[in-house]
Structures are given as C-alpha cells and as structure tokens.
A and B are shown apart, each in its own frame.
Chain A
Amino acid sequence: MTEKAGSKAFEDVPKAVSRRNFIKGVITSGVAVSSASYLFRASSLLQGQQSTAGVGERLITLNVNGQQRRVDVMRQETLAWTLRYKLGLTGTKLGCDRAECGSCTVLIDDIPYYSCSVLTHTVRGRKVVTIEGLAAADGTLHPVQQGVIDEQGFQCAFCMPGFIMTTVGYLKTNSNPTRQELAQGISGNLCRCQDYDKILTALMRGAENMRRSNLG
C-alpha cells in the first residue's frame, strides 16, 4: 500500500477527475488479502465495526434494491460476489461464473447483466436490482413472480431468479411480447431441469399480470 492509498476515499472521487487527482486518487491497488480474511472482514463490517487500513479506499456505496449500501469491495470483485457474500443477497445465483448460464442475472439501470461478469466497482452510481428487490414493501410479489407461482413454472428453481430478472428487464423494452419474442428475450438463461416450455408459460403469465397491474 503506498502513501497515496489512504489519501482519498474511493467513493469521493468523481467520475470526471482532474488528471492530478486521477493519478493520485483513482490509482488504488487491489489489496492482497486471502479470501478467508476478507470474508471475515466483510462480515465484521456489516456489523458496523471499524476495519483496518486500506478499507477506506475500497469502501463504496452501492444502490441496491433502492437502498444505499456501504460495502467493502476489492478491485477485482464481481458484482455477483458482492451481492451474495458481502450483502447477503443470495437470491442471485452463481451457476457458471463465466457468462454462460444466466443464473446470476440482475438489473443494472433496468438492463439485464450477468453479475458474475461485472466488476462491482464499475456499478458505482448505478441502480442495481436483484430478485430480493422485486416484491413491494408490504410483501406483495412482483407480477412476474406471481406468474411464476401461479403456473408453478420451475422445478428446482436454481435458475429462477435469473429468469425472472431477465424477464423483468426485457418487459421494460417490450411489455406485450409474443411467446416467440419472450423466448428470444430470455434466451440468455439456462435451466438444467429443462422444462423451458413451462418456464415460458409462467413468464408469459407474469407479463400478462404486469400489463394488468399497470392498467389497474
């Protein structure tokens, strides 16, 4: 760690920085910590304890499910990792960690992304929504979630959060899709139990629920 490291909290560095500041401030080194120790640090952080030097510059604020969450994030950490292991949002699943299955899909500014393949530090200032963020405050399920329950769309449901997040994102661009269009829209999600037909029926029901709830 150089003397520059602690000079500026990472989240205070605006995106457009002067050259001097960006050399001084944004140059931050990925702190070498073992996975065991950083997990320990993360959990103590969640309990509100102060942590050791180096954390300041990695401590960032993320907008997740409408809340501002302070979290200690390594430079090389993926969003899926932060969500699951730092923020306790384990509804986001890690299937492949390689952008090849879709189970980690979350919305970033309303667009579906594979969170296993996004660096957490690149979503500062953006709006992240996970499966935990869909239901209303009073517990009423999101219309797409309700559609999935109504149709019993999934089997083991490991892939379900990813499918639902992709669908919610897709419906923002096309609220009244044909079955074929929605199939295309969710084609970046795999199910290993593989009843895609049933999944699609459930998500179509979700889309219909959504149109209805928007009317009502």
Chain B
Amino acid sequence: MAVIRDVMPAFELFQPSSVADAQKLLEQHGPDAWVLAGGLDSFDWLKDRIRKPKAVVDLSGIEELRSVRTTGDGIEIGAMTTLTEVVNHPIIKQKYGLLAQAAELVASPQIRNQGTLGGNVSQDTRCWYYRGGWPCYRAGGNICYADTPEGRNREHAILHADRCVAVNPSDSAPALIALDARFVLRTPKGERVVDAEDYFIGPEIDITRLHILQPGDLLTAIRIPSTWAGAQFYFEKIRDRNVWDFPLMNVASAMVTSGDSIERIRIAVNGAAARPLRLKAVEDAVRGKPRNTATGEMAGKLAVQGAVPLQFNAYKIPLMRNLVKRAISGVEEATWAS
C-alpha cells in the first residue's frame, strides 16, 4: 500500500528538446539516469525510494517523439504519443483497431491522458514483492518471494518462469505483437529496429529487466505495417475492477479468413509470463482450419501446454485456454469450460 511520504528525494531534472540531446544526457549519466515518459510507472519507484536516480531525463519536450505518421507501409507512432491519442487516432481506429481497443482498456482516463505508448510497453512488472523493494531475484537478490508456500501469487506467471514468476503488465504489448509491429530504438551505436516480440525478454535472458533496453537506449517509435490493416481483430482483457486494474490476462489476435477458414493469424497473450507471449504454435495449428468452436478448443489446449500453476494462480490455465479459444472462434460460439 502506497504511503505518502512528502516529496520524492532530490534529483536533477533535464528537459531536452531533441532525441540527440536526450541521448547525450543518458550517455553522460549512465546508470544514474532515469528516462521519464508519462511517469506513471516511474514515480512509484522514485516515491518509494527504491530507485534513486541522480538524473531524470524528461522526454515530454521532444516533439519528434509525439506524433502518428503514415508511412509507405503503415504507420509510425512516436513513443511519447499518449494512450488517449492512440485511442482517438482515426487511422489507428480504422485500420489497426486492435491497438486502439487495447489502449482504451488501460488503467483510467487520466492515466491514458498521460501515459505514453512507449512507456506502456517499457513499464516494469507489478509484482508487489519486487515493487515493494524486497531483495528478490529481479532486484538482484537470491529468492522469489512470490514463489514460496505463503507467497501471494494470484497474479503471477504460469509459463516460462525461471526463478522469478513476475508477469509483464502491459495491455498494448500483445496487440502490437499481433499487429506485427516493429520497435525503433536509438542506441549509442545507432538506430536499431526489432520485431515487437523481440523487444520483450524473460528472466532466462535477463532477470532484472522485461525488455531489451540498456542504459542509454531510447525507444523512439513503434511502426505498424499494413499487413494486418483492417483484419478481424479480437482483444479481451480480464481484470478485477473495470478501471485501474492491470490485466490478470489479456489476449490479442489479428486474423484474415477466406470463406470460413483461417487464412492467416497472429495471436499473443500477456499476463501469463514475464514477457507477452506470441503463440506461434497456435498460429501454425489453426492456419487453414475452419474458424469454429472445435478449432478454438484445440487452439486453447495447445496454448496452455506446459503451463505450471503456482499456489494461487491455477485459474489462469483455464482462463488462458478460454481466452485463446474466444480469440479464435469468436465469443458467440465460446462456452466456458474449466
């Protein structure tokens, strides 16, 4: 539970107006620097005195990071574009509605007015042991407090856990993976463009981070190719309260059918593992199959293969199975099975 303790500890504040200037500052301050976007993840760390950066680099004055541009093949969304701007953007709504749907389900209206797309995909996990400053694996320690007999782990991972059982909390991430987006990074070595799914990493690669950004790196934009423009989209988010709450799990799919068979599909879930998972095996298994309940059920079963529940999150296995099923066969045909 958050405790109000007057103000945050002191830091230097830098407000560059270009990406180049921001990069210089990050280079100059190395690990002492903190990138500030909307701040809605950042301020928790600073207010709780768990992270104590000496230099905060505020990106809000960098105009080049805040726009939605159409490109030769799709659109490019600046990292500092707010979630509200994403939700209301006519082209995103019309052609890439999956992202608009996902962004609209994030948190609350005020948070969407301030939170950025770049921040949403770069935010840290919400595991409360970790965020509470406990010295767990992810914080450089030697234990996972959530994965103990008394650990509170209702919200934690069922797949790909490796020591740490935290999950990625982002709603926009699986939508971007389903849309086959590319993330544009500015690193000290130059520009680097990665597939959305490769932006995110699990504990087996780096237990202290959810994404590939290294100190000094900036996420500058997200590109969505036209490949899936106007496809059939499905986004569903399960949470405790309809406002504010992070996904217990969510699913995003983009599908093109011909006749009643699935011609191509991309599907991803979040809230199941430390990174949003693209379900490649499911995609391969349902391609060419009729879009019906049987295919949905088969896909759901396949999706949860290898899932390992913790003490309090076994519900996530049928939840994931059903979400995947619904994302493929549609809601009307879906029935809840346990």
Contact = CB atoms under 8 A, between A and B. Distances in A.
A97 B114 CA distance: 15
A215 interface: no
A75 B12 CA distance: 7
Given A114-B114, A117-B43, A187-B108, A98 B11 contact: no
Nearest to A34: B6
B44 interface: yes
Contacts of A17: 17
Interface string B3-16: 01011111111111
B338 interface: no
Contacts of A121: 13, 15, 58
A28 B2 contact: no
B110 A76 contact: no
B60 interface: yes
A214 B11 CA distance: 46
A30 B16 contact: no
Nearest to A29: B12
Contacts of A114: 110-111, 114
B10 A122 contact: no
Interface in B98-139: 107-111, 113-114
B40 interface: yes
A112 B111 CA distance: 9
Given A76-B46, A97-B47, A187-B108, A117 B114 contact: yes
Contacts of B60: 122
Contacts, number: 113
Given A22-B17, A97-B47, A117 B40 contact: yes
Contacts of B24: 19, 23
Interface in A99-121: 99-100, 102, 105, 111-114, 117-119, 121
B190 to A, nearest CB: 19
Contacts of B12: 27-30, 75
B109 A170 contact: yes
The contact size tier of chain B is: 35 or more
A105 to B, nearest CB: 6
A32 interface: yes
Interface in A144-186: 166, 170, 184-186
Nearest to B111: A99
Interface string B222-252: 0000000000000000000011100000000
Interface in B35-61: 36, 39-40, 43-44, 46-47, 56, 58, 60-61
A15 B58 contact: no
B191 interface: no
Contact of A97 (B4, B17, B58, B84): B4
A77 B46 CA distance: 11
Interface of A: 15-17, 19, 22-23, 26-32, 35, 74-78, 81, 94, 96-100, 102, 105, 111-114, 117-119, 121-122, 166, 170, 184-188
Given A76-B46, A98-B44, A170-B109, 8 more contacts: A35-B7, A76-B10, A100-B2, A100-B244, A112-B110, A112-B113, A186-B109, A188-B111
19 contacts: A16-B17, A19-B21, A23-B24, A28-B12, A75-B13, A76-B9, A76-B10, A78-B7, A96-B2, A98-B44, A99-B40, A111-B84, A117-B43, A117-B114, A119-B36, A119-B58, A121-B58, A184-B109, A188-B110
